[in-house]
Each structure stands twice: as C-alpha cells, then as structure tokens.
Structure 1
C-alpha cells in the first residue's frame, strides 16, 4: 500500500506539471538535422548551445528547439554518432526552416557523450555495437541487447526462448518486442502468451536498436516486465548488395537488397528499397531439419509536404522445418539415441506472417510532433511437438499439434509538445494505442505421426481488444537534473468462442466474455554531472497480460498481473575511449495465471521477487580494436514458498557475453566472442540442475568498396552443450514407469559458414 501511495503523490505532481506545460517560450530557436549523403533526417542528434551549454536532442523528424537568450548565446554544436560534428553560429541561423547537414564518418567511442536527456543512456551503446559488431544472423538480433540470453528448442523454426534479469520469459511473456513500432509479441497465442517470432526480420535491414530494461517507459505497456526492444529498420539504403552464403550441414543463404528510386529521388528526400532472403539448412541434428525460410521486405520513406514524412513498409515471411525437439538425458545415457538424436521424428512446423505498416509524422509550426501509425498482420502457426513421449498415451505417444490463424490490427498515435516552465524545458507526450487480435480456430490436438489427429483438446476463436492511453512528462530543471513521470492506463476486452463441448475447462460450447484494466505509473530521475557521468533512479509498475482463455476461465482474476520494479545506476566514461553502464535492480511480480498452450490448462503460481545487477563496458584501446563485455547477476525466489523449495525453475543466475572486434583500413576485420550461462535450478527445490555453458564464436571478413568475403565460425572449440533445458516428466516407449529429469535440445557443434557480398550502386 505504501508503494501505491508513493506513486499517487508523484502522479499528482506529474499532472500539475502537465497543466503548466502549455506555457511556451518567447525566444525560440528551431532547426532540423539531416544526413548529407542520404538526405534523411537524423533522430537523436545532440545540440549544445554556446556558451550557455544548454542541450537538446533532435526528435523523430530530426528537429530541435531551444529557448535561449540571443544576446549571450552565439553558436551551437551538433553531434551525432557516425557523423562529423558541426558548429553553427546563430547569426546564420535565421528561421525554423534552417537545416544542418552532417557528414558521415566511422563510429567511435570517443564521439559518445553522456546525454543530459532522460532515457538516452542505452541508445549510443546499441548504435556503436551494431556498427562495430554487425548482425550476422537472425539470432544475433536479440543478442545485441546486453544481458539477453536466448535458446532455440526447435532448431531455428520457432521463436527463441528468452532469458533476462532472472526471468525465463518463455518466448516473450515478460519481454516486449517491436519492429518499427509494429508489435512482435502475440497475445493469446496457440503456443504461449507473448510469443515473439523475430525471424521475419532480415538482419541487414536493421539500422539501430532502441531498448530499455524494466517497465519504466509509459509508451511501452504489455509484456515489458523486464524491458523492451524496438528494432528500427533502415530508412535509406546507401548501396545495393547481393550476398551468398554456404556452410556445413547443407546450409545455404541468398540475400539481396536493392534501391528502387534514383539519386534524384534521394535529393528530394525520397527513398524506397526492397530486400529478400532465402535460407535452407539440414542443421546438425541426426534427423535432418530440412529448414526452409523466405523473407521479403520493402520500405518507403519520404517527405510528402513541408512538415510531413510518410513511412510505409510491407513484409512477408514463410518458414517450414522438421525438428528433433527436446530429448531426456536417459535416452542419451542409455544409448537409445545420440546427443543430437530424436525420439519423435515427426516434430516440426510451418509458419508465415505478412505485415503492413504505415506511419505519418507531422511537425506543427510551433515544433510539436504528431505521429500516426496504422499496422496490420496476418499470421499462421502450425507446430507439432512431443515433450512427454509415451507418458499419457502408451500406445500412440503424446505428440501434440498447436495451430492458429490470426488477424492483428492496431493504431499508435502520439503528440509531443515542447514547452517551458521559466527557463526549464518540459517535454510532454500524449499517446494512445489500440490493438485488436482476432484468431480463427486456435486449437490444441493430440496427434500421431504429424498427420493423424487422435482427439481435439482445445478449439475456439479468440477476440482480444486493448485500448491504452498514456501521458509522459519530462522536466529538465537545468543542465544537470531531469525528472520523467508517466502514467499509463490499459483496458482489455476478452472474448473466447469455445467450439469444443468436451473442453473440461469451460462449462460447454459457447461465447465467454470478460474484461480487465490496470494503471501503471512511472517515475524516473536523472542527474547529469557532466558529459562523462550520469546517475539515474528509475521506477515503475508494469504488467504482462495473460491468455484470453485464462481470463475467461478465472473471470479476469489476475488477467493482468502487476510487476513493480526499480533500477539505480550510472553511465560514465572514465576515459575518452571507455564507457560503462552499471545498475542494481529489483522486480516484484504479483502473480501469474499462465495458460499452457502445451496442455490446454491454466498453470497457477504465486508472487516472485528478483534482485540483481548489470554491468556493461565498452573499450576502444586503439581505433582498430573494440572490446565489449556484459556481466549480469540475478537472484530470484518464489515469495510464498519455504526456503529450499523457493527456487524459480530455469531462472538464470550468472550470464555474460563479451567480444573483441578488429577493423583494419586494408579491409581485414573480424571478431571473437563468448557467451556464458552459469548453472541454474531446473526445478523448485534445485534437485535438478540446468547445466551452464561457455561458447565461443568467431567472424572474419575482408571488406572492399565493391565486395566482402566473410567466414563465420560457431562454437570454435566444438563444446558439447545444451542450449535449452526443462524439468519434464517423460516415459519412453516400453518403460513401465515415468521419470522426472532434465530434457534438453543440444546446442550447435563446431560449424562454419562462408559468404560473399557484392556492393553496387
């Protein structure tokens, strides 16, 4: 209760600030920042007035504004990662139509300054990481985020299992993912709540990554318990490219990216390109995976009027595969199958997704920005798995099929206003998000040999609508201190049309409705000592939604379990070529009623508490070397359980990743990286252990203006390791008794892949 009262006080302060925010300054300097080569706007550039040292950050349209005393300020400096700094005198800066063109250059840690603006501490690190390290495959997309551990237990076809801050977030239940504002997580999914499959993203199309740990951002609601990530794709393609890759285990990939408009269009701030990808692999399993995936992506970005930009993209993705699934330790120990073997060769799946995304950004004469976004996705999911083998059906086996078709549509709108309280900058963001998910024949069935249906367990249509208004206020008192307060309201409307009279979790066939809502306050405080040191205290209430089938069964009880979290940390540069981010954090999760897509029932669990710390360091000893390291610790316990029986299954304790990247003007570049996960409990009393691993990977490239030759080596030292692990009760064919033990999916052995890329205009 004290926690709620604490937030009520600060939410009152936030609204007082909001009503004062309409007071605007009399002396305003406004301008815009664009990239000189692509003629596209630059978001996140830092502008510093001189000699007052007031700062501003360019918005999504590349615009910035200052309230300034023109009698004292004479110039300002503009800096942006990957660009040369520019100094502009106010004398030459006469009206709001002025634009500053920045010339591109290679990125370097020395160009990073610790931003005086709230919440900017993560963006610079992610930009440098992507520029230095690159993204070599779809799994690397998530690994670019410090502290993230991912695991694949279908060999590449299914969404990755996500671990962060002591959470086994399954396939996205406690981690929010977006691409250009388009939601990736799927509510009330046939396989699991929050299912987030990022395989429709072509890695080469990613421009930057916006992420933050914790539920501290008002514009990010459902699933952002441990944090969120928004992958931002390129608005402009500098050059066309064709990439061909081939490797072990019959692995092949062809990727192309082409501009569809000429240089004249670029000069008029118009860009349109298309990218495609096809991949095939049998993978390293004894049962060949026959994995096939096709991606097609196109994006248009252009200035359509003096104050408006239109951004449109479309994606289609198709994937099909066979899988080895999870296998019990004893099946390997007894020699029934090998370490890379399979007990049910009929596991596998088929999935596809098509997206349309339209964004319109408009700036008003006073510098305010309005953003409107409409999106639509059509998805299909069909998965065959067998976790327990012959535990229930000793004759036919326990293979299951999870299937759904979905239409997802939504709207994101926001209005950003910059005002002043005296000389103190006040940014106000008002927004609303509307999302509607409609599934058809979401089902769970008992099958045999993939194509034979033995009986239907669940079958129905899901309709889930959420409406979420929010407000976020950021007051910058001076160049050292700022405070952000946010408030979010989420209303959910659930409907489930049960088509199966034999479903024992509901009274019978028919339509069931319920609704739920939650309020999520946020409070974040930043102290900016100088351009090399910042301290912050972030806090907030978040949540993850639970499945519609869980909500209607329990009449919305714990449909939106709350998460209370806080971070205290610092970002600092002890030297010009070193940047460090450290944070201690706490998360309390109220309750979970999680619908099990594998069993068709609701799994009950109580509240949990987690504490830990994160460390991220980046070091550039010389211009050609870049070292990054992330170390993370989490201690999680079930709050209501007796000591010794309160472990959280599969919750990571120690995780770490690091790498050394080398670049050379002669063309040679490469990296050597490791991934580490420590041992962790596989069940509540830690009688079973999920074994940790230490894996190393290497990349070597020879890059010239017209081409690149590359080699990627996974698991350099051929370590035998278990990528995903579960405590599962299983029975093998012919066994009289079932056994509880660790079941696992093996990780990749030593594997190499070579590639050739051709660049052209």
Structure 2
C-alpha cells in the first residue's frame, strides 16, 4: 500500500501573546486522511502545551495530501505526524517582544524524516524515530473516539478465522455478551448484554451501516431484530456501545447499541463451499472488483442442513450488494441492497422430567432423549428486503454532511409451544386443544437519517460539534393466535393489531478540551413517537349490544436523554473515562390506551473505567476495563404462557468487565474478556443506591468469559509458499439463576479451526463444541403439561431446556480468483 503524499502544508500560526520558546517542543498529532486527501479528524497524541497544541491542530485541518492507495484504490488512513516548534536564534539587541515567531515543522519534513527548516532548527534535538510518519489502515471510516469505556470499535480482522455460524456470533467479540437460541437455525438469537436479558432486541439497538433493524411492536417481542441475514464475510467491523452514553444512540439502546459496518478489504472473487455434520451445506460467493473501493462488493450465501436432531432442518439464502460512486470531487454515494429468505423447523423446549424418565417419542438411549422434542409443529419462516442510499459530502471549510434514506420490508411467521396443554380453556365437554402459538408479523419501514459536522476551528481546534436527525415510519401488522394440536388450525386470537408508528428524533453533541489532558463530550437526544393502532381483536358485542370488532387507538410520547463523558489522559497511552447517561425504550403500541401520553422505559446509567492502547514495532496491546451501574424503570422477563417477555417493573444492575486484545505482526491476534453482572428487582421503597440488594432476575448469567485467538503463518515447501492458520474460540458461562431459586449448570465450550492455502486454493476444517459437551442452550423453570390433552396438569414447576448442538465438524474448500498476490 502506498502512503499519503503531502501536497499543501499550511504552517501553524502562534498567537501574538504566545510565550517565548526556550527549547524545542514537539506536538505529535494523529490525523485522519480521507480518500480525497483532506484531514477529516485531528487528535493530540503527545502534548506540548495548550497554545502549541491548538496551533498545530489548527494548521493540520488545512493540510492536503494525495490519498493513500491500495493498488489504484484510494483508502482512508490514520497517520502520526510530529510538528516541532524550535526557539529562535539569540538576538542580543532585541527584546523578547520583538522576536520573530518560530516556524514549526511541516508535514513534508515529517514524512521525509528530516528536521524542519526554521530559525534555530540546527539547534533542535532530532525527532525520535518512533515519531516518524506512519499510517494505520482503518477501512472505510476512521475509528471514532469512544463514547465511554464500554464503547468498542471492533475490527474483525484475523478473528474471522474463529468458527462462527452467523454474523450475530460476532457479538461475542464484545465483553459481557452471551447468545442463546431456543427457536431453530433462522430464529433470531436471544442476546444477553451488560446484565440485560435483551431478548431478540428489546434492549439492544441494532443497525446495519446506519439502517435500523429493530422491529416495533413485533408479535414475538417489541424490538425483535434478526441479523441472521448479514453475510459474515462482508462484516469488516462492528461498533458495540455498551450503555446509553452516545447522543447518537436511539430507540432500544438500553443495554447498548450494535452497528455492523460492511466492507470487503480483500478484492477479487472468492467462492467457498462447505459440507459437514448433519448434512450441513454452505455456499458463499463474494466479489469485490479490484478497480473499486472496499465499499463496493457483492455477496451471496446459501445454507441448508438437516440439523443435529429431529425437527431441526433449515434452509436460507441471502444476497447483499453495495456500490460506492464518486459525485464530482466533493461527494460520494453509497448504495446498499439486501434480500433474504429462510425457513426452519424447531424442536423447542423439552421437559427435564420426561427426558430423564425416557418418556419422549425417540429412541430410549440418553443422547436420543436429550435431543428429542415434544411438539413437531414448531418452526418458522421469514423474508427481509432492505435498501439504503447514502450521500456523503465534504463541505467548504472541512465540514461533513451525511444524508441517508432507507426502506426495509419484513415478513415473519413462527410457531412455538412452551407449555403443551395448560393454557387453553376449551368449550365445555371438550379436551384441551393445545398451547401451540403462531406469531405473525409483516411490516414496512421507511426512514431518513443524517448528521452534520461543521468545518473550521474554534479556539484553534477543529469544530467539535455534531448535529444529527432521524425520521422513521413503520406500518406493520402484528398478530398472535393459538393453534390446535391436531391439524394446526387457529382456534383463538390473542391479539391482532395494525400499527403505524412515526419516530422523529434529533441530537446534538459537543466536545471540549479545557485542558491538554482533559476532554469532555456530551449532548442531548430528543425522540418523539406518534402511535396509531387499529385493534382488530375486539368483541363483536358488549353490554350495550352489537359492535364492530375493531377499535382505533392513538397515543403520543416525547423523551429527552442527556449524555456526557469525561476523559482524562493520565499518560500518552492510558485514559480514564467516566460516563453518565439517560436512555429510553419506546412503548409497545399494543399495550397503549387511547389518547395516552405514551410512557417510556427510562434507563439511568453510569460507568467509569480505564483504557490503554500501546504499540511497539509490530506489537499492539489494547486493554479496557470498567465498573457500571444501571437502573431501568420498566423491565421485562420471559413468560412461558405468552411465549414472549412480559413487564415486571423496575430493575437494577451492577457489573464490571475487563478486556484485552493482543496483536503481533499481523500473525497473532488474541482477544480475551471477563465480565460480571448482577441484575435484580429492587425491594419496594428501597433506596436506588442499594444496587446489591433485591431479588435476582432469572435467566441472566452473572459471570461470562471469552477467548478468541488466531495464528497465521507460512512455510516454503519445494519452492512453493504455503499459508496456514490455526484458530481457537472458548466461551465460559457461569450458572444462570432460574425462577424459584434454581440455578443452571455452568457451560464451557471450545471451537477450533485449521486452514491451509496454496496459491488460489484453501482447505479448511472447523470443529465446534470440540469436546462434544452436552449443554443446554436455553433453560427455564415453570409449570407445563406435555403428557396429553386429557392428562391432569401438575402444578409443580420443573426445568425445561433447549439442547445445544453437539460436536459439529465441517470441511471447506475456498478458491480465490482474480486476487492480487499477497502473503498470508
């Protein structure tokens, strides 16, 4: 890759009242140079004092470069550039007020590795070699400053080598994340983050290149978000902001926000075919024309398999394509499209007492019973179509404007049975008809979003202001019905709503640096919601006689959420961040009353922690750790009778995490984390400061650990270069509290992968659940009756679980076509 080349180097200008320099002083700047050669961001890595820092930063915003290039494609990079101020030569007849202003070094001098041409330069000490010009590739966008200690910009990099089944599992790269799935291969994962049982999205905001993915008033749960359609090979990085500390975070950002960022760094055509255990088949085709940027690509993914037990077959297909085009010299347009369809069967949950007694309708051996099922009429299907257009414009003076429009079409149907024959109230003289529940959702989302960053400088620093907005309209049909155990015909409608929701939001954030070692970021976000609901499940008559079985409901809500973060730079590489913020989750429209001022679930959160980043030669170490506390005004817990989360009142959380990532010469990449969290329901009237008291919330693990590692290398055999790779993933999950004082067993899982590559051909072998553990992916404790419609129901709660996958082996053949020659 070729580095950027300086073209215009405006020198810094010191104010007239600047103090006289007695010795040379150097400010080390980290600048972001975009694909047009402009400096889009500047930060001080090593300070020489407020006046000199501001002068150097002000000049850097006016520098121009020929952009860095990978082949013929311009790429955005970060560069460390020293600016050295030298004292003037002694003038015996002049007073200090008559001394000329010293001329600092320029980018050309820094790039060339030479000293600046300025008065007194010959007396200046040489700039250390570590401060010479360097570039760090950051993909399509530079890494934004963290909004909090728990704000992670995670570049997937080598860790893509660790076995993963979907883009959702990339979330495990963030600390304190656990995933569970009781619904089958194609059902959205249940996400546990920061001590929250976030369900399938109720407490986590999901975005894809800025497009919101959470679905309002979903029949399976408000905020349902299925990221299974995202092709993992196209995910360049993801930003996981834990906690509500960034003003740009919107609805559902209670536990945090996850944004997938797409790019394809390796250009050319890749075709990959896999075959493995349980007749699993996977075909991926990814293409990035070499003449285009990393933001231009096409990806196709087909998956199919029988599953690891009865009633677990699945099939899905997805297509994603994106193109980036230049409009004149100052603007770019990025167009993204995605289309996806899936169908899957589900074994659901089984009752532990029936499994232990061998009463399930499978072979009598222990393994067959463990992977068996009660109700074969479970599963689902879904479709998603997504389109987005972004216009990114560079304004005069260095300002930036982003405008985006998007549309999402979604349809889903899922059938689940958690209790067997328990909840139905049949007509007199008839047997139970069954508790199988069908949830149906179809919807259209239209939206606009944008952000504006002014150019220029304020007090010698780049303009720290950012303004943003979002407008979103959802038109959805959401319905839940009970199905007969025999034949599957619906016999009871639980709810049936036509919902229209308009969300208008805006935010403003500001950064200030009152001291060279102290910076503060803060802002406020406003969101308004207008709800219109047509309830199609009203009675056909009431006390006053016959009526139309539908009813209209309208409601409105408005919320303000201030957020702030202070960062103290203790050393060049060590920072202390403290954050506070208010967040909100919108109301499920199905729970509103007519003319109600719609309530919001409010979250109050605070966090403090340390961040360290250091590098030397080819070694880079990034570590992060923090302690946090959170209180939510209205929380939800899974209810087996409804088959979805139900409100339980206020809750609170306290926790901590530590994460470290170690990279060595682009050969070894290791990421490890440990997280602890305690979630509880406060006692009535208890002080909000009593965070360690109260009834523990069920299903939320208190201790989580994760290690991902990848090692790459090459050998020469008979004059041919052979690349190789070994990867390992390990997850540890502590006992999870269950209702009625029970706890689940701890879980320890290991995954491994090996690959070898010769020229354009690569062979790989992955093994998930390497030790073939029998583990329970989801576990519950409640009353059920799966013995039959006429059997008396026991009122004794017992454990129910969804079996996790056994050892799964998969072989992969990958062919790389039209690729540049590269070293593994």
Same fold (TM over 0.5): yes
Instruction: Map Cα deviations across residues 230-259 of structure 1 (whole Å, 9 max, x no partner).
Output: 111116651111000000001000110124
Quote the Cα distance in structure 2 between the aligned partners of 1:623 and 1:536: 29
Q: 1:284 to 1:696 in 2, by over 3 A?
A: same
Q: What secondary structure, in the 3-state scheme, does the structure 2 residue paired with 1:173 have? A: coil
Give how far 1:186 is off: 1.0
Q: 1:312 to 1:449 in 2, by over 3 A?
A: farther
Corresponding position of 2:450: 413
| TM alignment of 1:485-496, pairs within 5 A | 485-496=522-533
| TM alignment of 1:740-759, pairs within 5 A | 740-759=797-816
Whether the 8 Å CA contact 2:640–2:782 is kept in 1: the answer is: no
Corresponding position of 2:634: 591
Whether the 8 Å CA contact 1:537–1:568 is kept in 2: the answer is: yes
Do structure 1's residue 439 and structure 2's residue 488 form an aligned pair?
A: no
Quote the Cα distance in structure 2 between the aligned partners of 1:132 and 1:213: 25
Q: What secondary structure, in the 3-state scheme, does the structure 2 residue paired with 1:651 have? A: coil
Quote the Cα distance in structure 2 between the aligned partners of 1:444 and 1:241: 44
Do structure 1's residue 387 and structure 2's residue 415 form an aligned pair?
A: no
Which of the residues 249, 254, 272 maps onto 1:243?
A: 272
Whether the 8 Å CA contact 1:465–1:493 is kept in 2: the answer is: yes
Corresponding position of 1:672: 728
Corresponding position of 1:341: 372
Corresponding position of 1:516: 557
Q: 1:70 to 1:537 in 2, by over 3 A?
A: farther
Give how far 1:502 is off: 3.3
Which of the residues 581, 597, 601 maps onto 2:624?
A: 581
Which of the residues 692, 706, 721 maps onto 1:657?
A: 706
Give ranges in structure 2 of 5+ residues lacking alignment. 1-56, 87-100, 118-132, 361-368, 425-430, 687-691, 716-722, 819-824
Normalised to the residue count of structure 1, the TM-score between the two structures is 0.84
Do structure 1's residue 170 and structure 2's residue 170 form an aligned pair?
A: no
Corresponding position of 1:725: 779
Give how far 1:185 is off: 1.2
Give how far 1:601 is off: 9.5
RMSD of aligned Cα (Å): 3.5
Instruction: Map Cα deviations across residues 424-477 of structure 1 (whole Å, 9 max, x no partner).
Output: 444111111011111135343434357411222211201111100110111234
Q: 1:700 to 1:28 in 2, by over 3 A?
A: closer
Corresponding position of 1:542: 583
Give how far 1:347 is off: 0.2
Give how far 1:38 is off: 5.9
Corresponding position of 2:36: none
Give how far 1:722 is off: 0.4
Give how far 1:114 is off: 11
Corresponding position of 1:456: 493
Q: 1:270 to 1:611 in 2, by over 3 A?
A: closer
Q: 1:106 to 1:182 in 2, by over 3 A?
A: closer
Whether the 8 Å CA contact 1:487–1:519 is kept in 2: the answer is: yes
Q: 1:593 to 1:120 in 2, by over 3 A?
A: closer
Whether the 8 Å CA contact 1:425–1:475 is kept in 2: the answer is: no
Corresponding position of 1:325: 348
Q: What secondary structure, in the 3-state scheme, does the structure 1 residue paired with 2:731 have? A: strand
Q: 1:353 to 1:102 in 2, by over 3 A?
A: farther
Which of the residues 361, 369, 384 maps onto 2:400?
A: 369
Quote the Cα distance in structure 2 between the aligned partners of 1:624 and 1:25: 38
Whether the 8 Å CA contact 1:190–1:597 is kept in 2: the answer is: no
| TM alignment of 1:95-174, pairs within 5 A | 125-128=154-157, 130=159, 133=162, 137-174=166-203
Q: 1:519 to 1:427 in 2, by over 3 A?
A: same
Corresponding position of 2:767: 713
Quote the Cα distance in structure 2 between the aligned partners of 1:241 and 1:676: 34
Instruction: Map Cα deviations across residues 651-677 of structure 1 (whole Å, 9 max, x no partner).
Output: 220001013321112311111221111
Q: 1:575 to 1:471 in 2, by over 3 A?
A: closer
Instruction: Map Cα deviations across residues 555-593 of structure 1 (whole Å, 9 max, x no partner).
Output: 345x31111111111111477443211111111111247
Instruction: Map Cα deviations across residues 350-397 of structure 1 (whole Å, 9 max, x no partner).
Output: 101000011000010111111000010110010000011111236321
Q: What secondary structure, in the 3-state scheme, does the structure 2 residue paired with 1:249 have? A: helix
Whether the 8 Å CA contact 2:468–2:508 is kept in 1: the answer is: yes
Q: What is the aligned length?
A: 695
Quote the Cα distance in structure 1 between the aligned partners of 2:813 and 2:787: 47
Do structure 1's residue 75 and structure 2's residue 98 form an aligned pair?
A: no
Instruction: Map Cα deviations across residues 189-215 of structure 1 (whole Å, 9 max, x no partner).
Output: 110011110011010011111222110
Whether the 8 Å CA contact 2:276–2:811 is kept in 1: the answer is: yes
Q: 1:298 to 1:234 in 2, by over 3 A?
A: same
Corresponding position of 2:302: 278
Corresponding position of 1:50: 83
Q: 1:601 to 1:574 in 2, by over 3 A?
A: closer
Give how far 1:165 is off: 1.2
Whether the 8 Å CA contact 2:635–2:651 is kept in 1: the answer is: no
Q: 1:509 to 1:117 in 2, by over 3 A?
A: closer
Q: 1:362 to 1:644 in 2, by over 3 A?
A: closer
Quote the Cα distance in structure 2 between the aligned partners of 1:613 and 1:644: 17
Give how far 1:594 is off: 8.2
Q: 1:326 to 1:644 in 2, by over 3 A?
A: farther
Quote the Cα distance in structure 1 between the aligned partners of 2:400 and 2:199: 37
Quote the Cα distance in structure 1 between the aligned partners of 2:162 and 2:108: 32
Give ranges in structure 1 of 5+ residues lacking alignment. 1-23, 54-68, 79-84, 92-100, 108-112
Q: What secondary structure, in the 3-state scheme, does the structure 2 residue paired with 1:158 have? A: coil
Quote the Cα distance in structure 1 between the aligned partners of 2:640 and 2:556: 21
Instruction: Map Cα deviations across residues 150-192 of structure 1 (whole Å, 9 max, x no partner).
Output: 0111222210000011111111111111111111111111100
Give how far 1:31 is off: 3.6
Instruction: Map Cα deviations across residues 286-335 of structure 1 (whole Å, 9 max, x no partner).
Output: x1422000001111112121100100011000000111011121121121
Which has the larger Rg?
A: 2
Whether the 8 Å CA contact 2:159–2:710 is kept in 1: the answer is: no
Quote the Cα distance in structure 2 between the aligned partners of 1:681 and 1:489: 36
Whether the 8 Å CA contact 2:148–2:579 is kept in 1: the answer is: no
Corresponding position of 1:607: 650
